[in-house]
Structure formats: C-alpha cells, structure tokens
A and B are shown apart, each in its own frame.
Chain A
C-alpha cells in the first residue's frame, strides 16, 4: 500500500501554482474594525444611505453574536481586530473602468491564472467579473449582456446604478443577522458581483466571477446577489485562488440567489483557495454563507461545488423551496489533504407542495485531512408530497485522514419521502493493481478511480469548469470516448 499512498500524495500534493503575489500599490485600511471603519468604507464607495444603515445594523448584531463552534473543525481564535477590511489596487481608483484602462499588472495576474480579461481572448460564451482583494477590477461582455437585458456588474456599481433592485433583494435570502460570518460580511463587504436576469430571458452566456485575494493580512468579504426573474435562466461559475502565505487569511463571503416563478439558476464553484502547507501553516479560512430561495412555483436552484482549497472550509449552500413544485439540488466534491479541514454540506428546506431536492456529496480525504459532510433536510408542515434523496460517499486515502457524516432530517409532514444513503470506502490496492495490470501508470490509475468516484458531480459542471475541476484533482476526462 505504501507505493500507492505515495502516488496519491504526489498527485494531490502538487505545488500550488496559483500561490504567487502581485506587487501592486494598494489603498489599504489599517487593521481593525469599528463603526468608523464601516462609515469610511461606505463613504469610499459613495453609498446611498440605505446601505450605510444596513451595514451599521448588521455590525450591531454581529457584536452581540458569538462565533459558532459546532463545526467539526479546529483552529486558533481569529483576532478580528488584526484584519484589514479593505484593500484595493490604487490604480482602480473609485470605480470600475473600461477594460482598456485596467492596470497591466492586474491583467497579467489574471492571465497567469488562466483568466483573460480581454474579451477577444477569453473563452467564447463566458463573461467574467474579476474581483481583486476588496474590489472588482473588470467585467467583460457587459454590453453584449445588456442587449439581452441582463445586468452583470460589480456589486458596488449595482448600488449606484440599480439601487432599487439592490435595496429590494439585498438580504432577502441571507438576512444581515443570519449568522456570525454573514453578519460580519453584511457590515464590511466591499464588492462582489450582481446579476439580474429579466423575465423570460435565457442568459446568452455563462457568467463567471473570479475571486483573488492578494494583499497581506486582509480579509476578503464579497457578496454576490443573483436574481432570476420569472421564467429566466442563468448559469453562473465562481473560481478563486490566493497567494501562498504563512498567515491564515479570512474569506467570509455571502451569496444570495433568488429564483422567481419558473426560473432556473445553476451556480457552480471551483474553490481553490490556498490550502496551507503540509504542516498546516497558512491557508485561507473559508467561512461562507450561500443560500438560494425558490420564490415562485417551479423554480429551480442547483449548487455544484468542487472544494479543493482552503485550510478550513465552512460552507453549506442551501435552498429554500418556497414555491410549489420547486427543485433544489446540491452536488459536491470536497477534497482535504495534508492538514485541511472541511465541514461542508447543504440545507434543503421544503416549504411548498410537491417540492423535491437531491443531495450528492463526495468527500475525499487524504494525508491528515478531515472531511465532514453536514446536511439538513427539513420538511415543513405544508410541504405535501415533498421528496428528498441524499447520497453521501466518502473515499479515504491512507490511514491518517478522517471522514465524518452528520445528516439531520426533520419531517413535519407525513406525506414526505426522504431517502439517505451513505458509503465510506478506501481506494483499494486491488483496484489500483487491476488498472496497472492493464498498462496504466499508478498515478493515472488513482486519477481514474477518483474521477469515477466524483463522476456524478463533475457531470453537473459546465464544460469549462469540469475540465478545470478534473485538472485540479489530477484526473483525465471520463467519457471522452463513446
């Protein structure tokens, strides 16, 4: 088994190639958090009063809250006064610019990450919003999207240009005081992406936000709000990386999705934040609140996530199934290696009649990684004939890692159907030998087995991301033949 363990660690212990630092002049707040910091942030962004009020009330709530401790993760307490709550490349100035004016250093940074911000060079059919530390630095294809009536812009721009939409939907799904990190985010969030798809519009391209943390001792607090009006459709992708640093950095984001009657939102994440080194030094603390609401009948929200990065992941993309016959889906691959810890899963809250939800979770643990699935399925009183199917599979590599499953089921309606399946397996020496006997290298064999394990999730990803996700797991493309 030793040789196979080493192949596995070679495979997933590859260098973190996104770990470089961009030397760029920044406008950074000194560390610390109080009301003045929030006022300064709001002033800097030239925000209308409703935003400042919202932030301040969130801050008040946050101060009364306690950091949650129920997750299956352990870490040194975070000193929230040692974090800087705003950092922006100086060249970005007050607001987003046209693509021609973006600082070449930033363009180069994104190029190195494989994200071209020049529209002609980027993958056809994907529009990108690039968020660097606390601000959005560029958004591509805005005019093309505008023709279809789609709004896709940095959050701070939406606050200026579409205050009526922002004030209507901000906090509608994740209220300011929802939880400790969500409240912190509401108080200090600096940017993020805003999407609005009008009634009956099928968004003509994939939308994507690429988050990059660069500055030292800075937290990234972004907020994404996606509103899909009646009978519209949007597919949204999110990617993220950060430099390798010995200190832990905080990322506390909020994502809110609103799907009106008949609308469909597909939200995919490939999370590759710096995971820390082999000894567990450094890495991102990824404390994220993601929630979607199916507001109307037949609305559908689907979350797909591939989590390979971060020192700690604390994240439960959820769906509130309010409309009748609405559908929620959660597909997840979470990989923990070295000293990484992940406590991730989902919440499906069935409120409307004939609502259905599907949860497919694949946890892979290697090294000393700890991987926990935590999921809640709640069927409320009025949710006649609600259905849920949950499947949680864990794959262990080596004998120092751990996999844990915490399913919570709460059913208040006797007509509901709830199914839960869970398996735990070790990558088998016999499986490896079988593949090698057919001529595959040990590394390819591991890739193939891991890829097979994750197949049900990968097939939910848009093509571009499926490729990236598989490359991240060091796997080659399944199903290329036939």
Chain B
C-alpha cells in the first residue's frame, strides 16, 4: 500500500525528516508517536502533498505509483485522506457543498457517475450516525464556529464519506475530551477494513486505548527510531519520550 524509503524533508532550509522509512500494508493500522517537533505532523502533511514542504531525497510509493509526483487533489482522488490537526474555516461555504464536490470528484476519478441529490443525502445520513452528528451540521459553513470536538468529528465524518484507502489522522485526539474521543475513535474503528490502511499520528498513548494499532513507530529527530507492536506505546507511556531519546543518542553515537 505505502512504502516510504529514506525520506528527507526540509522546511525553509531546515531539515525536518531525515531518512525516514515506513512500510504499511493494506488493512493495517500504524501509530506514529513522538515528542513535539519530532516531525510527525510534517510526515502527515508530506504524504498529503502540502505545498509548504520540500522533499529533498527519498521516495514514497503508494499502490505502486510515485506519490510525490502527484498533486494533492490527485492523491485525494486516489484514496489518500488526511484528517487535519487544525481544520481550516471557510466562511460562506457549507460543509455539505464541499463534501458533495469532493465525493463527486473522487467518483469521477474512479469512472463512476455523480451521485444525485437523493442518493447523496441518504449516504450522508448514514455516515452522520457514525460520528453522532446532527443533519443541521451539514449546512453550517466549513468549520466556522465549530468547537474543537466538532471539527475533529467533522474530519472523521468526511473520511467516512470519502472512503479512503489510506487515511492519515494527524493528532485527531488533540483537544478532545474523553467523550468526544470515544465518539471519534468509534467512528474510526467502524472504518477499519481489510482494504483500508490507517496511519495515526499522535503525541499521547491515550488514543491508542480506543483505536488499537497493529504497529507503533516512534519518531525522533525526523526518523523512525523504534518500531514495535501495540505494547511499545505502553512502554513509552511508562518511561516517557526521554527513554527513547536516550536510546537514540546512544544509537547515533555508535554510528558516528
């Protein structure tokens, strides 16, 4: 599904990702953890094609194709979805309008016909239940005046509508109280599927209690310094990121 090899990324000349490697198979859920500034969100944004980051080396192969050559919209149409850490507000544009345009762009790309209003509304109602949202929510301007929890739920709702193959969740748990977290996690769990891969970027182990990953990777200094099963997250919780950073320093010293 996704193969990231020796990825280097720079922002304003500063190196953020440094020889990052990651393999994700279809149906797997990977958690990417790490301290602030470790490059987690950068990685999520680079996969989605944010124009503010410069890939200086390495490759990202998605379903056998060079992902880095694609515009953000092409990635989206091919099934790459990013649930944003900070979803932007777009005044005057209703949620449902963007959603219908997005659904139809993706359908068009797959060679399917556009959904008519009735079918679209039926689908919307079904998916709204998943994240426990009311229909009136659809007609509000995108993220305008939404609470933190509403914004994150809206991202997962969009994910449910667009049915991506590769979903990247960027700090979806941040700013959520425990009830909202449960709703969001439940929505994501319902979308787990043998053909869908999920990459979750998170700072805290807490999210992983509700969305249990197959693999956990720890990012430090722009690279994956430790990978393991879900138990790795518990170890991290116990020892803190300092534990990993100590190990990393050793690792780097032995290399030098």
Contacts and interface: CB of A to CB of B under 8 A. Distances in A.
A27 interface: no
A452 B162 contact: no
B243 interface: no
A481 interface: yes
Interface stretch (B17-25, B98-106, B172-180): B98-106
Nearest to B75: A437
Interface of A: 3, 428-431, 433-442, 444, 448-449, 451-456, 476, 478-482
B223 to A, nearest CB: 25
B76 A452 contact: no
A120 to B, nearest CB: 31
Secondary structure at chain A's binding surface: helix, strand, loop or mixed?
A: helix
Interface string B77-98: 1000110100110111110111
B246 interface: no
B92 A439 contact: no
Nearest to B105: A439
Interface stretch (B29-37, B48-56, B210-218, B248-256): B48-56
A287 B120 CA distance: 48
B101 A482 contact: no
A3 B247 CA distance: 42
A452 B91 contact: yes
A442 B88 contact: no
A459 B90 CA distance: 17
B121 A482 contact: yes
A452 B105 contact: no
Contacts of B72: 433, 436-437
A480 B104 CA distance: 14
Contacts of B202: none
A377 B92 CA distance: 26
B131 to A, nearest CB: 16
Contacts of B101: 438-440, 444, 448, 476
Contacts of A452: 90-93, 141
| Leading 9 A-B pairs by shortest Cβ distance | A452-B92, A452-B93, A439-B105, A438-B102, A455-B92, A439-B76, A436-B72, A436-B73, A439-B102
A456 B121 contact: no
B73 A441 contact: yes
A436 B100 CA distance: 14
A481 B122 CA distance: 12
Given A439-B162, A441-B73, A449-B93, A433 B105 contact: no
A434 B88 CA distance: 7
- Interface centre among A436, A438, A479, by most B CB within 10 Å? A438
B209 to A, nearest CB: 28
Contacts of A436: 49, 71-73, 76
A430 B92 CA distance: 16
